[in-house]
Structure 1
């Protein structure tokens, strides 16, 4: 069998020398206040439940329906954080489908099928989602965010282009500017199963959290 060109688990993200961008979707009130105050610690936001961040733009578009899915996902936020903080969160994680039955880590990593640029098809490799639990969420929201930008209009322009029949290649060139994000720490790679292949992950069905 020919080796798959894209590794089964691979982090693809928009990043520069100083930061990495992750995405979340919120309702209008939370999103507007978060952008205005440049923090997620605004009225309506809660650290009581797990909050999921996604480096993949396409996966965010799929989960939020390009911001049209429902009122609670009507605004897409691009959240920048340092590489150090991003990887420190991964250090505190465990895999969602792990069979481990002891005390769970405060952060959960989930690998879900990446989507095509139209979001209508699944690709044969996975995209990472990171669920930040209560024990870490407040610190993340307070101390780990560099900036917050509302990118809803970009999401909606992409949706319009999808509906107009723009090709997968054109969509990717216009909207997806991610690169492979390398994790050098062998311990982090082990924790998040970055080097796993499809046959040995033992993953169950995606929960699409």
Structure 2
């Protein structure tokens, strides 16, 4: 795989929106599904991480089996909101090739309501792949925008996660692939790609 493909956002998206994934206990998921956005006991004061990669969400949540992550939610948000988040983001770690100094990075981190991490993408069997998947951490005003403005719908995809997992356990990852929503490279403006250190 060539270097320009290493850190590229892949997502299920259309002209106006895209899907990110989160996993929560039923106590948070049920009110969110009823309201169409996150409401109490969801806490806006805490950082919340969104992930465009279904497989990475499965890796993180253990196919929706880990404690506190039993309900997997597909959250549809506006592309405008998603790109606002990227435009106000800072990498979660210091990179000497991108920052003039650690002090400069720390200053940017303090001012940015969004954190970016690039972690190894996962296969359907949840093994690491050569390219990276993006995780986006929202804090402060970004959480308020997310909950109050960006979310256009929430769908419970826990049953899908369990069905796909059962197929993987049965040695049928290709059948699981057919169930998992297709994710394609997201077209990023050059300025946003540079800000989040995307390479494709």
> So what's the TM-score if we normalise by structure 1?
0.86
Q: Is the 8 A contact 2:4 2:199 kept in 1?
A: no
Other-structure match for 1:183: 188
Q: Does 1:16 align with 2:14?
A: yes
Q: Does 1:91 align with 2:126?
A: no
SS of 1:146's equivalent in the other structure is strand
Alignment of 1:41-190 (within 5 A): 42-70=39-67, 72-98=68-94, 99=102, 100-104=105-109, 105-119=112-126, 121-167=127-173, 169-184=174-189, 186-190=190-194
Q: Separation in 2 of the partners of 1:155 and 1:143?
A: 27
After TM superposition, where is structure 1 displaced by more than 3 Å over at least 4 residues in a row?
none
Q: Classify 1:46/1:106 alpha carbon distance in 2 versus 1 (closer, same or farther; 3 Å).
A: same
Q: Classify 1:89/1:5 alpha carbon distance in 2 versus 1 (closer, same or farther; 3 Å).
A: closer
Q: Is the 8 A contact 2:47 2:139 kept in 1?
A: yes
Cα RMSD after superposing both structures: 1.6
Q: Quote how far apart the aligned CAs of 1:171 are.
A: 2.7
Q: Is the 8 A contact 1:114 1:122 kept in 2?
A: yes
Q: Quote how far apart the aligned CAs of 1:94 are.
A: 0.6
Q: Quote how far apart the aligned CAs of 1:101 are.
A: 2.2
In the alignment of these two chains, the number of paired residues is 189
Gaps of 5+ in 2: 95-101
Cα deviation 1:175-196 (Å, max 9, x = unaligned): 1411111102x22111100128
Greater per-residue helix proportion: 2
Q: Quote how far apart the aligned CAs of 1:135 are.
A: 2.9
Q: Separation in 2 of the partners of 1:161 and 1:5?
A: 32
> So what's the TM-score if we normalise by structure 2?
0.89
Q: Which moved more, 1:9-18 or 1:135-144?
A: 135-144
Q: Classify 1:103/1:189 alpha carbon distance in 2 versus 1 (closer, same or farther; 3 Å).
A: closer
